[in-house]
Amino acid sequence: MPLINNPEETALIKSANKILQENIREWGMYIALLVIIIIFTITTKGVFLSSRNISNLINQTGYIAVLAIGMTLVIIISHIDLSVGYLSGFLGAVAATAMEFWHWSAPLSIALIFALGILAGFLTGFLVGQMKIPAFVATLAGWLGYRGALQLVTMHRGTIVITNNFFNAIGNGYIPDLSFIPDVGFLRGIHKLTFLLGILVIIFYILSEINRRNRMLYHNFKVSPIHLFIVKLVLMSALIGVITWILSGYRGLSWTAVTVIVVVLFYHFIMNRTNLGRHIYAVGGNPEAAQLTGISVKRITYTVFCSMGILAALSGILYASRFKSATTTAGTLFELDAVAAAFVGGASPSGGIGKISGSIVGAFVMMSLTSGMNLMGIDISYQYVVRALVLVAAVVFDVATRNKKEEIT
């Protein structure tokens, strides 16, 4: 072997190390999730992993997960949006008001709050992108304003009970089953459509991973050794399989889960396969360069905040329909869970970096903590402290792994 002294080779080694580091970062969050699940499964004597609890956990994560996706984009362009928690609560209350007091249909009410969500995003985009007000300040104003608006809407009754069945099914319903498959053998009492979908997802996952590996090989990237790759495939497939089995044993896939999956796939596609996603990353990485190459930073800022507004509306729908009501406290601290989910999921506080898949795992980490600690009956004050520690740990871990990368460079 010749000594490594030409720049290209050094660069290759550097990048190989970098990939390793990035993988450590990514594996870190899966390991964290696994540790959390194991700890709670032991401390709750298995209740945490019960079909019922996992199903609830997924529905609970839904309204945070969609916010986390929007927040990831906001963080990628080096901003933050603190207003989305109360915006989500406020929009949920508007939907409730429209259905209960104005007797609007559910689809019309939903359309209304999506429009309001876009409007809210446009407003933030204007303050941040046009007026150049720091996002932290602009959205803190939003936090106050939407909180006030939420209280105004719910003032008269405190809680608006939602009686619309269609609307309530979004947060509580499950997908129908395939009735033509006989209820025999191991399929007894199993939700077959969910089971089938799970198997399809595993096949799709394995194929796309193989495809990705081949592409990396084609581009002379260092990939993990084949046996490690197979271990990863088996572990991940087993994980999806277990979740599928758990869900099929209860009531199957919920509409909330379906909604989240659609949103995840859509955003994953936008961020990785379209010029819009590329421009969002470019603006996050170097806004001046993006502007010089003809990307309108202003337009990207508007787009990202409007997407955040739409997802806040969606989060409001999922939350209100899950609890079949709009309350004065709806949305409280959602923004912090969403920010934490994005950071746990590997988004960088300095912008330019973040993945949709990571933020979803991050959302599950945050909600597993809440759910597990609730099951254990831990006092809410301690819960806040634990969540704070996890957030700090995620960012410290991120900074530490990144610094290590720089040492190598």
Considering only residues 81 to 140 of the shown chain, the ones binding other proteins according to CB under 8 A are: none
Name the segment binding other proteins (CB under 8 A); options: 7-15, 24-32, 60-68, 197-205.
7-15
Question: CA dihedral defined by 222, 224, 226, 232, rounded to 10 degrees?
Answer: -150
Mapping DSSP to helix (H, G, I), strand (E, B) and coil, where does residue 175 land? coil
96, two tokens? 């409730």
27, two tokens? 């594996």
Evaluate whether 33 touches 364 at the Cβ level (below 8 Å).
yes
Tell me which of 3, 103, 186, 288 binds other proteins, using CB under 8 A. 288
Considering only residues 211 to 230 of the shown chain, the ones binding other proteins according to CB under 8 A are: 219-221
Tell me which of 3, 292, 377, 381 binds other proteins, using CB under 8 A. 292
Give CA angle at 263 (261, 265), nearest 5°: 70
**Nearest CB to other proteins, comparing residues 192 and 278:** 278
**Nearest CB to other proteins, comparing residues 170 and 282:** 282
Site membership for other proteins, residue 310 (CB under 8 A): no
CA 406 vs CA 74, 75, 226, 368, 369: distances in Å? 25, 22, 28, 33, 32
Site membership for other proteins, residue 185 (CB under 8 A): no
**Nearest CB to other proteins, comparing residues 12 and 201:** 12
Q: What is the DSSP string of 330-352?
A: TTTTHHHHHHHHHHHTT--TTSS
250, two tokens? 């209860």
Tell me which of 5, 8, 184, 186 binds other proteins, using CB under 8 A. 8
Q: What is the DSSP string of 190-217?
A: --HHHHHHHHHHHHHHHHHHHHHHHHHH
**Nearest CB to other proteins, comparing residues 289 and 388:** 289
Name the segment binding other proteins (CB under 8 A); options: 6-14, 40-48, 199-207, 325-333.
6-14
Q: d(Cα 84, Cα 316) in Å, to the nearest integer?
A: 10
Backbone angles phi, psi at 224, to 5 degrees: -65, 150
Evaluate whether 68 touches 344 at the Cβ level (below 8 Å).
no
Site membership for other proteins, residue 145 (CB under 8 A): no
Q: d(Cα 399, Cα 395) in Å, to the nearest integer?
A: 6
Name the segment binding other proteins (CB under 8 A); options: 128-136, 226-234, 282-290, 371-379.
282-290
Neighbour tally for 21: CB within 10 Å: 16
- What is the smallest separation between the CB atom of 9 and other proteins, expressed in angstroms? 8
Site membership for other proteins, residue 404 (CB under 8 A): no
Give me the 345-384 binding string for other proteins, x by CB under 8 A, dash otherwise: -------xx-------------------------------
- What is the smallest separation between the CB atom of 244 and other proteins, expressed in angstroms? 30
- What is the smallest separation between the CB atom of 8 and other proteins, expressed in angstroms? 5
Site membership for other proteins, residue 289 (CB under 8 A): yes
- What is the smallest separation between the CB atom of 274 and other proteins, expressed in angstroms? 6
Residue in the block written with tokens 């609830």: 56
Q: d(Cα 213, Cα 222) in Å, to the nearest integer?
A: 10
The single-letter DSSP state of residue 174 is: B
Tell me which of 163, 165, 293, 374 binds other proteins, using CB under 8 A. 293
Tell me which of 105, 130, 165, 275 binds other proteins, using CB under 8 A. 275
Q: Which residues of the shown chain bind other proteins in the complex (CB under 8 A)?
A: 7-9, 11-12, 14-15, 18, 219-221, 273-276, 278-279, 281-282, 284-286, 288-295, 352-353, 409
